[in-house]
Structure 1
Amino acid sequence: MLTIPKEIIDAMIAHARWDFPLEACGILGGTDGLVSDHYPMANIDQSNEHFMMAPKEQFAVVKELRAKEKVMLAIYHSHPETPARPSEEDIRLALTPDVAHVIISLAGAAPDIKAYRIEAGVVTQEPITIS
Structure 2
Amino acid sequence: MVEIPKEILDAVVSHAQGGFPLEVCGILGGSGKVVASHYPMTNTDASNDHFMMDPKEQFAVVKALRASGEEMLVIYHSHPESPARPSQEDIRLALTPNVHHLIVSLQERDKPVARAFRIEAGVVEPVELSVI
Query: Taking structure 1 as the reference length, what is the TM-score of the superposition?
Result: 0.98
For structure 1, which runs of at least 5 residues remain unmatched after alignment?
none
2:21 aligned residue? 21
2:113 aligned residue? 112
* Structure 1 residue ranges (4+ consecutive) displaced by more than 6 angstroms after TM superposition: none
Per-residue CA deviation, residues 22-80 of structure 1 (Å, 9 max, x unaligned), is 00100000001100000011101000000000111101001100011100000000000
Counterpart residue type for residue 97 of structure 2 = P
1:57 aligned residue? 57
Preserved CA contact (<8 Å) 1:102 1:113: yes
How far did 1:97 drift?
3.2
Counterpart residue type for residue 123 of structure 1 = V
1:127 aligned residue? 128
Preserved CA contact (<8 Å) 1:28 1:73: yes
Give the aligned length.
131
Percent same amino acid among aligned pairs?
63
Q: Structure 2: how far apart are the matches of 1:94 and 1:102?
A: 12
Q: Structure 1: how far apart are the matches of 2:54 and 2:97?
A: 20
Counterpart residue type for residue 118 of structure 2 = R
- SS at 2:30 equivalent: strand
Preserved CA contact (<8 Å) 1:26 1:40: yes
For structure 2, which runs of at least 5 residues remain unmatched after alignment?
none
**What value does the CA root-mean-square deviation take over the aligned residues?**
0.6
Query: Taking structure 2 as the reference length, what is the TM-score of the superposition?
Result: 0.97
Counterpart residue type for residue 117 of structure 1 = R
Q: Structure 2: how far apart are the matches of 1:43 and 1:94?
A: 16
- SS at 1:51 equivalent: coil
Q: Structure 1: how far apart are the matches of 2:20 and 2:77?
A: 11
Q: Structure 2: how far apart are the matches of 1:122 and 1:14?
A: 29
Q: Structure 1: how far apart are the matches of 2:96 and 2:14?
A: 26
Q: Structure 1: how far apart are the matches of 2:88 and 2:47?
A: 16
2:101 aligned residue? 101
- SS at 1:48 equivalent: coil
Counterpart residue type for residue 116 of structure 2 = A
Q: Structure 1: how far apart are the matches of 2:40 and 2:15?
A: 7
